[in-house]
């Protein structure tokens, strides 16, 4: 460390914190990251069970192709290009009659497939996929790489944004004449049927796939995080694990350091929180620096959230040839968390993904999860575990219909709930960031809480600062903050590609 360099403390070693640290080191700051866990990545993680890797986070990663966002991942050395898997099918929707809808990542191939299923829906199909094709050149996932100028690039797409943001997947599905497409289409975006998700985000995914920019990094989320951690350390950064920050030290409304759970105090010129927004604002800072807009956001959470409940299985079965993801539509009664479910979202990882050995596979089933349901159960440890086991058994019984004999092939299973995430990351209710009830355009251009009113020398980065979901969002947030700090100090922002 150079005593003349400004010192930065970063709270949290997730993707936002690691990215911030890397760019800080590239630009003459001395960065130290305090992470509560014993490994990097935060939510971007995976873990090993009996030779299987259960991957919690990455579904499709923007920036894995040749568009502008790829430059950031090269700077962070996040993956080797040869380790990127490009899926032919984003998701297959299947019903119990054997009808199948493949959402191909090639738009023309998908258009042909849809018209084969339902020639009478040609106009609806063209309207949907021509919109996706028109968004390819806009490169929405790179929005933010060059600050406000890159965001201004979306202005010509304003009509498309408004049009496709005002209709959700369920509503668009009703335009189809074909009964199967009406039933299947609401499940094409991570099986978020019933969530009211607008069609526009799905169109962005179709554009990203068409551009070859939404791949999956082999070996999964923890390996991805470890590569960025290694980059940070090679740049000279310091990362301390098992170091839970309990309070931010203030001096005359200026952030000057942090106090760890062990009572030690650490001081810096700048404090940056890359951790959970609620914990940062209302616990570490005791709610002293907030606004009506921020307060209203944190009061708008739902009781349950997509991806909140996940079931993992390590299988003694080779699932090569199956699509990466299947949304299974089911007619049987399935009640989980006291709520009836009519579908299961199944992600499949064969040995080519690096998550299992040859001849074996991993299955992950992702569902909506209710925090309060599990919080009540947690008061009795045995009841909590029994309920997790029951969820697994209900899921595996249903999968038996699709994969006969699969029960006998399961070598190990694991179930994560919102409380699992809360325990390992301190995320509020175990949630990821949710869409705001109002002020979306303001958030797109300004974020939610990159700074806090009345507090100096303090910044926030990551999904909670931006109020927008995604790993690239988290990494870009850190990159852009360091660019801002460089401008404030009157120096040129520099990057280094590995």
Higher local confidence (pLDDT), 150 or 312: 312
State pLDDT tens for residues 288-303.
999 999 999 899 888 8
Q: What is the pLDDT, as a whole number, of residue 283? A: 97
> Does the pLDDT at position 3 exceed 90?
no
Q: How many CB atoms lie within 10 A of CB 137?
A: 11
State pLDDT tens for residues 119-132.
999 999 999 999 99
Please state the pTM of the whole predicted model.
0.95
Candidate CATH numbers 3.50.50.60, 3.10.20.600, 3.90.550.10, 3.40.190.10; the one for domain 7-63+221-300+431-488: 3.50.50.60
State pLDDT tens for residues 190-236.
998 777 889 999 999 999 999 999 999 999 999 999 999 999 999 99
Q: What is the CATH number of domain 304-424?
A: 3.30.519
Q: What is the pLDDT, as a whole number, of residue 447? A: 78
Question: What's the CA gap between 22 and 220, in Å, rounded?
Answer: 21
Of 467, 461, 480, 459, the residue nearest 432 (C-alpha): 467
Q: Calculate mean pLDDT across residues 432-455.
A: 79
Judging by DSSP bridges, how do beta strands 265-267 and 270-273 pair with one another?
unpaired
Higher local confidence (pLDDT), 178 or 428: 178
Q: What is the pLDDT, as a whole number, of residue 102? A: 99
State pLDDT tens for residues 228-261.
999 999 999 999 999 999 999 999 999 999 999 9
CB distance 477 to 487 below 8 Å: no
State pLDDT tens for residues 398-441.
999 999 999 999 999 999 999 999 999 999 998 888 777 666 66
Question: 236: which 2 tokens?
Answer: 């000279």
Strand partners, 406: none
Task: Provide the edge-to-edge strand list for the sheet that holds 214-217.
Answer: 61-62, 214-217, 84-85
Q: Calculate mean pLDDT across residues 162-183.
A: 95
Across the chain, mean pLDDT equals 94
Q: Calculate mean pLDDT across residues 93-118.
A: 97
Q: What is the pLDDT, as a whole number, of residue 263? A: 98
Task: Indicate the SS3 state at residue 456.
Answer: strand
State pLDDT tens for residues 319-337.
999 999 999 999 888 999 9
Q: Calculate mean pLDDT across residues 133-149.
A: 81
Percent of the chain with pLDDT over 90: 82
State pLDDT tens for residues 331-384.
888 999 998 999 999 999 999 999 999 999 999 999 999 999 999 999 999 999
Q: What is the pLDDT, as a whole number, of residue 165? A: 87
> Does the pLDDT at position 445 exceed 80?
no
C-alpha to C-alpha distances, 53 to 63, 81, 361, 366, nearest whole angstrom: 24, 21, 10, 16
Q: What is the pLDDT, as a whole number, of residue 304? A: 84
Each residue of 47-61: b (16+ CB within 10 Å) or e? beeeebbbbbbbbbb
Q: What angle do CA 322, 416, 311 make, to 5 degrees?
A: 25
Question: What's the CA gap between 239 and 30, in Å, rounded?
Answer: 11
CB distance 35 to 10 below 8 Å: no
Q: What is the pLDDT, as a whole number, of residue 484? A: 96
Q: What is the pLDDT, as a whole number, of residue 146? A: 73
CB distance 165 to 135 below 8 Å: no
**Domain spans of the chain, in order of start:** 7-63+221-300+431-488, 102-211, 304-424
Tell me if 7-63+221-300+431-488 shares its fold with 304-424: no
CB distance 5 to 30 below 8 Å: yes
């Amino acid at each position: 460390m150079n005593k003349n360099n400004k010192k930065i403390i970063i709270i949290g070693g997730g993707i936002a914190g690691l990215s911030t640290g890397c760019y800080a080191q590239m630009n003459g700051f001395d960065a130290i990251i305090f992470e509560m866990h014993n490994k990097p990545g935060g939510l971007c993680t995976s873990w090993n069970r009996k030779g299987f890797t259960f991957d919690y986070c990455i579904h499709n990663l923007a920036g894995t192709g040749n568009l502008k966002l790829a430059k950031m991942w090269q700077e962070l050395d996040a993956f080797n290009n040869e380790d990127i898997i490009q899926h032919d099918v984003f998701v297959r929707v299947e019903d119990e009659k054997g009808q199948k809808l493949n959402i191909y990542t090639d738009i023309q191939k998908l258009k042909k497939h849809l018209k084969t299923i339902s020639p009478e829906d040609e106009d609806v199909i063209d309207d949907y996929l021509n919109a996706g094709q028109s968004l390819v050149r806009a490169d929405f996932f790179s929005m933010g790489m060059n600050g406000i100028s890159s965001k201004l690039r979306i202005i010509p797409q304003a009509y498309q944004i408004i049009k496709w943001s005002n209709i959700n997947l369920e509503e668009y599905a009703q335009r189809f004449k074909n009964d199967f497409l009406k039933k299947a289409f609401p499940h094409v975006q991570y099986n978020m049927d019933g969530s009211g998700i607008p069609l526009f985000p799905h169109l962005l995914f179709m554009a990203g796939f068409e551009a070859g920019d939404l791949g999956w990094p082999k070996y999964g989320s923890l390996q991805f995080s470890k590569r960025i951690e290694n980059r940070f350390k090679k740049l000279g950064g310091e990362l301390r694990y098992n170091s839970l920050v309990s309070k931010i030290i203030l001096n005359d409304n200026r952030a000057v350091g942090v106090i760890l759970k062990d009572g030690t105090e650490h001081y810096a010129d700048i404090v940056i929180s890359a951790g959970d927004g609620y914990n940062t604002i209302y616990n570490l800072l005791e709610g002293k620096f907030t606004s009506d807009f921020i307060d209203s956001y944190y009061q708008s959470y739902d009781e349950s959230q997509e991806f909140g409940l996940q079931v993992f299985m390590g299988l003694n079965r080779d699932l090569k040839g199956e699509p990466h993801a299947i949304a299974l539509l089911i007619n049987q009664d399935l009640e989980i968390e006291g709520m009836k479910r009519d579908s299961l979202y199944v992600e499949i990882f064969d040995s080519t993904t690096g998550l299992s050995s040859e001849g074996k596979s991993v299955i992950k089933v992702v569902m909506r999860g209710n925090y309060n349901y599990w919080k009540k159960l947690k008061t009795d440890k045995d009841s909590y575990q029994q309920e997790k086991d029951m969820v697994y058994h209900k899921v595996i019984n249903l999968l038996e219909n699709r994969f006969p004999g699969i029960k006998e092939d399961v070598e190990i299973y694991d179930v994560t709930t919102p409380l699992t995430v809360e325990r390992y990351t301190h995320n509020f209710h175990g949630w990821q960031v949710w869409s705001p009830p109002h002020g979306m355009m303001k958030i797109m251009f300004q974020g939610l809480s990159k700074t806090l009113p009345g507090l100096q020398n303090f910044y926030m980065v990551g999904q909670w600062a931006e109020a927008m979901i995604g790993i690239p969002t988290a990494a870009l947030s850190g990159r852009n903050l360091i660019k801002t700090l460089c401008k404030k100090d009157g120096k040129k922002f520099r990057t280094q590609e590995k």
